[in-house]
Structure 1
Amino acid sequence: MVGSRFLDLFEVYRPRLLVTMADLLAHEGAKLHLRFRDAPRTSLKGVLVPDGQGGAVIDLSFGISVVDAVRDYDLTGSDFAPTDLTIEMLYLVEAKSAAMEASRTLNKRLQGARVAAEEQAFTDTLTGLKNRRATDHILGRLVRTGRDFALMHLDLDFFKEVNDSFGHAAGDYVLQQVARILVGETRKDDTAARVGGDEFVVIFVGVSDRHRLSDIADRIIARLERPIAYDGQKCRISGSIGITFSSGRADVDPADVMQEADLALYASKRGGRAQHRFYDPTMTQNAENDAPFGV
C-alpha cells in the first residue's frame, strides 16, 4: 500500500461522492464508511483528522464488520490488543450464533414433535387411515372453503363372524386389508378414514358424478367379497355403502352430510347388503316415520 493513493485503495460510500482529497478534508471529524476496492471488499469505518500539511490521518476500524474480517483474513486473538474490547464482542457474537443455532435446532425438534403429535391425533393406529376426528376436521374445512365433495360411508357385512370364528387378530388383519383397498380407490386430495369398529368413510373432493361414484363403489364391494386369507383360513366379508353429495346446496352442515350417508348406508343394508345406495330425501322421511313414538 505504501506510495498508493488513499482513494485508489478505498471507496468511500458514505457520505456519497467523496472522490478527491479536498472532499475528504471537508469532512473532518465525520464518520466515514469505506471498503476496499479489491477483494475481499471488507467494510471499515473511519474518522479523518487533517495533518496541517494538506494531508490527513484517518483512524480506521472494522466496526461490526470485524466478524467478516476474522473470516476473510484468518485473524486470531493475537491479532488484537489484549485490552481490545473487540475480543469480547467476538465472544458475544460467537455465543449468540451458538444460541441461535441451538434455538433453531430446538424449534425444528419442537415443530417435528408437534407435527407428529397432530398426525397421531388424526390417525387410526390400526389401519393407518385418518380417524373420526380427522374426518370432522376435513369436512369442516371443505365446507368453509366451499369445495364440493362426495361422501361414501362403508360398513362391513359379516365382520362380527370373522371375529367370532377366527379371533380379533384375524379381524384386525381384515380391517387393514380393507384400508388398503380404500386407499387404492382414492387420489391425493381424497381422504379414507376409519370412523368406527368396522365403519369407514371416504371423502372424494370435487367429485359430483354419480356414475363415477357408482363404479368406485361397485369396485370396492367386489374386492371386499374376495376371501381374505389369514393364517390358513379364509375370512369372508362384504360391504354396504351409502353415498351423498355436498354440491347444489346453499348451506352445508357436515353433520347433515354424515347423517345422509348413514341413511343411504342403512338403505343398502335393508336392501340385502353388498350394494350401494345414493341418498335421497325420502330416506329421511322414512327414517322419521320408522322412529318410535316420542323419539
Structure 2
Amino acid sequence: MTFPLASLDILCPMHVLLDPGGRVRSVGPTMAKLFRDHDWKGEHFSTLVDIYRPHPVTQIVQLRDLVGRRLQMRMRNPRRTMLKGMSMPADAGGVLLNLGFGIKVVDAVRDYALTSTDFAVTDLAIDMLYLVEAKSAAMEASRTLNRRLQGAMLAAEQRAYTDTLTGLRNRRALNHVLDRLVRSGARFAVMNIDLDFFKQVNDTRGHAAGDRVLQVVARAMLDVMRKVDTVARVGGDEFVVLLEDVRDRGMLADLADRLIRRIEQPILVDGEDCKVSASIGIAMREPLENTPLTADDLLERADVALYSAKRKGRAQHAFFPQETLAAAERIHR
C-alpha cells in the first residue's frame, strides 16, 4: 500500500509509518507536534507508544496480525496521552498506523496547543471541538449573565433598604435589624433623634435647603456612631439608631452629646448658614428584664424619652424610664 507522504499528511495528519523492522520512517504533522520533544526518526514504535489493547504489542509482526483491528495505546511521555488507532499494511512489509485521540481530544488540544488545522477536514473531532467551544462560550455567557443578575439583585435589595436622599438605612431596614435583635435576646439600645427647628429651614429656605441639611446631618451621624450601629432615617427629620452590645449609659450619653454638638454646627447652603439642633430619646434593652419587650415597645420607649428631651429645652438627650416617664405623662395629659 503506497501513498505519497504529502497526501498522507493531509488525509491522516496523525499517521505513523513504520518500516519492516518496526522503526519509524515518518509521522504526520500532528504527530510531529506530539513528538516534538523526542527524536522519533528511526525509533522503534514500542519506545514511542505502549499498545495494550486488544493485547500488548511490542513487535511489528503482531501489528500485521492486527490489521483492521481497533488499537488502544498510550504515548510514552510524561502526559501519557491516550490514543486510538488502526494498523494497515504498507509497502515493503511496513505498517501504517492511523491514530486519533477519541474522546480525549479536548484534553489533547489543551495539552499540545492544537488547532483545527491539525486534524483532517473529515475528522469528527473538528465538529466536537466546535461543540466544546460553543458550550464553553455559552457557559461563560451564562456565568456572566448570572453575575449580572446577582449584582442587579444585590443592587435592588440595597435600594429597597436605603433612604434615597441620605443614603442611610430606611424604616424597612431598621425593622429588619430591630426584629433580629429582639429575637436574639441581645443587649442593645435605641436612639430616637428628631431635628429641632428643621421646619423653619424648610419654610424659609425651601425644600432644597432642607434636603441639603438632612444630607449633612446624616453624614454627621455616620461619623459619630460606630460602624456596627444601624443608622436609619424613618421620617422627614426623624432618625433612629440601633446600637448593639451596649452596656454603659455613660457611653450612650457621651455619644448623644457629641452628636448634638455636631448637628448644632451651622450648615452652609447657597452661601448662608442653616442652623438646626437635635433632641434624642434613648431606650435600653436589658436581657434580664422580666417583661418581654417587642420592637414596638422599644421604639415607644425611645419616643417617650424623646418627648422628655424636648420638654427639657431641646438640644438635649434623655433616657427611658427613670427621668422620662413622669414628664411623658404630663405631656400627654
TM-score range, shorter chain: 0.7 to 0.9
Shift in Å, 1:66: 1.3
- Alpha carbon RMSD of aligned pairs, Å? 3.6
How many angstroms does 1:175 deviate by?
Answer: 0.8
Distance in 1 (CA, whole Å) between partners of 2:129 and 2:138 is 14
SS in 1 for 2:105: helix
Shift of 1:194: 0.8
Shift of 1:73: 2.8
Contact 1:7 1:19 in 2 (8 A): no
Specify the SS of the correspondent of 2:153. helix
Residue of structure 1 aligned with 2:167, choices 128, 135, 139: 128
* Other-structure match for 1:254: 295
Shift of the 214–287 alpha-carbon distance from structure 1 to 2, 3 Å rule, reads: closer
Q: Deviations over 1:53-103 (max 9, x none)?
A: xxxx99864233312322333333343233322111111101100100111
Pick from 229, 254, 263 the counterpart of residue 304 of structure 2: 263
Number of the residue aligned with 1:54: none
Compute the TM-score of the two structures, normalised by the length of structure 2: 0.71
- Which structure 1 segments of 5+ residues have no match? 50-56
Counterpart in the other structure of 1:276: 317
Answer yes or no: is the 8 Å Cα contact 1:42–1:68 preserved in 2.
Answer: no
- Of residues 94, 103, 110 in structure 2, which corresponds to 1:71? 110
Among the aligned pairs, what percent are the same residue?
53
1:234 matched to 2:273: yes
Q: Deviations over 1:192-236 (max 9, x none)?
A: 111110011112222221111100101111122222222232222
Structure with greater Cα Rg: 2
Q: For residues 158-189 of structure 1, what are the alpha-carbon distances to aligned partners after superposition, in whole Å with 9 as ceiling and x for unaligned?
A: 11111111111111111111111101112222
Q: What is the total number of aligned residue pairs between the two structures?
A: 278
Cα distance in 1 for partners of 2:71, 2:85 equals 5
What amino acid sits opposite 2:81 in the alignment?
A: S
Q: Which residue of 1 aligns with 2:77?
A: 37
CA contact (8 A) 1:42 1:69 kept: no
Query: 4+ residue stretches of structure 1 with deviation over 6 A?
Result: 18-21, 28-33
Structure 2 residue 112 is matched with structure 1 residue 112 = no
SS of corresponding position for 2:303:
helix
Q: Does residue 191 of structure 2 align to residue 142 of structure 1?
A: no
Q: Secondary structure at the match of 1:272?
A: coil
**Matched AA of 2:212:** Y
